[in-house]
Amino acid sequence: MRLLLIILFPIVTFAQESQIRFKPTFNAHEIEIGKSYPFEKRSISIENLKFYISNLVIILNDKIVFQDSLPARLIDIENKISLSINVKNGLKFDKIVFNLGIDSITNVSGAFGGDLDPTKGMYWTWQSGYINFKLEGKDPLCKSRHQKFQYHLGGYAAPYNSLQLISLNLDKKSTRAEIRLPIDKFLKAVNPQNQSEIMSPGSRTVELSAILKQLFVVRSW
């Protein structure tokens, strides 16, 4: 008589990784550097896209459940790792809050290392501080040299403080969220044909930063 040996293995379950992912888009498609995109009866290309987020917290039922240990993160479309932020596995949330840009306290404290290192190309001077948002590309209708547009938005001193508080509510509790930023809508607002360059703090910078704030959208995934 044969004995049937049955080995029972313990069932192991893994908590789903909790993650926030940033996805800049153009015409609803994820942006690729150097690729041409249809835009108002012409084609334009994106050559550089970076922006700072700071003081990130995620919230569940109006309570903070996670606070980022880093003071600021540089979201760089050419650095795919920077587009994702991993948080505690299995942690659910229904709201994400962060600053678009670097606050005045950090600016006046001087340059730091990591993502705040001036070698990242996101620092003007001690007087003007950090560039919060940088977008560069080419538009055949731009009147600038080589049809280039450059938008460097920043500034921390009154009356040109361009820091924006972003608050995004998810449609349901989730462990993962995707934050999209439609760059095509931003370019429609700024109109490269009429204004191809912004390179310092000012009233227009504040205006466009406020427009950017309204463009961020989030969805669970």
What's the pLDDT tens digit per position in 66-106? 999 999 999 999 999 999 999 988 899 999 999 999 999 99
Task: Give residue 12's pLDDT.
Answer: 47
pLDDT at 170 over 50: yes
- pLDDT, residue 10, reads 52
Tell me which amino acid residue 159 is: P
Give the pLDDT confidence score for residue 181 in this predicted structure.
Answer: 98
Give this prediction's pTM: 0.91
Instruction: State the pLDDT confidence band at 2, using cuts at 50, 70 and 90.
Output: low
- Write down the mean pLDDT value for the chain: 92
Write out the DSSP string of 52-99.
Answer: EEEEEEEEETTEEEEE-SSSEEEEETT-GGGGEEEESTT--EEEEEEE
Helix, strand, coil percentages for the chain (3-state, nearest 5): 20, 45, 40
Report the pLDDT averaged over residues 181-188.
Answer: 98
Distance between CA atoms of residues 178 and 58, nearest Å: 13
Query: How much of the chain exceeds pLDDT 90, in percent?
Result: 84
Token pair recorded at residue 192: 């490269």
